[in-house]
Amino acid sequence: MARRLLDLTRTVARAGRLTPGAIDRTERAWAARLSADPEARFLVSAGPRHLLLDGAGAQTLIAALESGEELPPADLRGAFSPWKTERQRRADSLARRLSLGMGEDLTALLAAQPGRWTYLNMAQAQLDAARLKALRAGGARRAVAMAHDLVALERPELTRPTEPTRLLAFLAAAGLCDGLIYASRETAEIAARGLESPPPGRLAPPGVTPLPTPSGADADDAAEAEGAFVMLGAIEPRRNHLAMLWIWRRLWDELGDAAPRLFILGRRASESEMVQDILDRSPMAGRIVFERSELSDAQVAGRLSVACALLAPSFAEGSGLAVAEALTLGCPVLAADIPALRAAGGETPEFIDPLDLPEWLEAILAYAHPAEDGPDRRGAQLGRLAAWQPRAWADHFAEVDDFLEEIGA
């Protein structure tokens, strides 16, 4: 079997973010798995330089990043990266200290490590024809990439203007690989429409890592969301925050401070100016609608575990990680009736057309104030939740391993 070379560039580049997204969690899960393999290596590219880590180095790096604690001071090279945040500079520097070797010539760097290699890119990033050519020249006999989220190629109005161009470049490079892993059926279908001759592929949705149980200050802090509704994820057009805020404006007009509370957990992304204006200037902001960004996993888990329900009214998603994480914590979910969220939630959530605002309002009120003499919709979902089982990472790994064996990787 060929030695594994996992690309960890995204993990280091996004070191400044406390809450990893679905793609980040996939790359880290693979790093945790392969770090136990003494033959595996891990590639990090920062600017023109590339470096390789062994399993022990990757394990130390991931543990430091996931701890949320302050990283060691940046080295001299890191100090001269003014376009990066302080935590990114420190992460780059830590990776360099842990590396087996580094240099600007990727081919020579890999060639210095003997053996046949299978390059794994599980983060839908840092993939282009030049990188693949250099890796193959250095000894990579197979290259396998994972496609997570290609929605912007067919719904460009729901994302930032540069995203379709970036994804087209990724898809072109992915077509040069020896195999493709797909996070969802929808992603596989979009790739099939975008590639004239796609390489062999396999559907292997990522697993779900349970969020950590909050304790101490995190638990006390999370109590603010008890009985409230929660939205989780970056604030961007496809997440449909605006529709929920229109609903909450009506609740504010009719009920004032007695209205159900809404917590929006996620950073502000581009193309969401109207949502940001409401969060900044509406009289309901800070009264019944609250914004929380850059929360740790434990802080997110704390709020979900005491919430009335998670609201996921997205128009499109590459995966339904937020839905799966909420259900794993025992939090009911009201979700948009779209394929990615149905795949993530199964039969447990209630699904509503993302454009059917009257039904969303009715469901929100039914969950906030169950009728004494009518059906208890939230109670019924809690009953279904008792049988909920998140997807195991072992299933994902087994499916990918089978595929790698199939293509000789």
What share of the chain in percent tops pLDDT 90? 76
The pLDDT, as a whole number, for residue 338 is 96
The predicted model gives 321-344 an average pLDDT of 96
The pLDDT, as a whole number, for residue 154 is 92
pLDDT of 225 higher than 80:
yes
Residues 267, 23: Cα–Cα separation, whole Å: 16
Stated pTM of the model: 0.92
State both tokens at 88: 């990114």
The pLDDT, as a whole number, for residue 80 is 66
pLDDT one-digit tens code per residue, 160-174: 899 999 999 999 999
pLDDT of 304 higher than 90:
yes
The pLDDT, as a whole number, for residue 79 is 64
Half-sphere exposure of 326 (CA within 13 A, CB side): 31
Question: What is the rounded average pLDDT for all residues in the chain?
Answer: 92
* Burial state string for 37-66 with b = 16 or more CB within 10 A and e = fewer than 16: eeebbbbbbbeebbbbbbbebbbbbbebbb
Helices (H) and strands (E) in the chain, counts: 18, 14
pLDDT bucket at 334, cuts 50 / 70 / 90: very high
Residues 285, 299: Cα–Cα separation, whole Å: 21
Q: What angle do CA 117, 118, 122 make, to 5 degrees?
A: 140
Helix segments in 105-233, DSSP class H: 106-111, 129-138, 163-174, 185-194, 217-222
Helix segments in 195-236, DSSP class H: 217-222
pLDDT bucket at 15, cuts 50 / 70 / 90: confident
Q: Which helix (H) or strand (E) holds 41?
A: strand 41-46
pLDDT one-digit tens code per residue, 227-253: 999 999 999 999 999 999 999 999 999
Write the CA distances from 104 to 32, 108, 209, integer angstroms: 26, 9, 35
The pLDDT, as a whole number, for residue 37 is 94
- Name, in order, each residue with C-beta under 8 angstroms of 331's C-beta and a sequence gap of 6 or more: 230, 304, 305, 307, 309, 310
Q: Which helix (H) or strand (E) holds 140?
A: strand 140-147
pLDDT bucket at 213, cuts 50 / 70 / 90: confident
Residues 344, 405: Cα–Cα separation, whole Å: 27
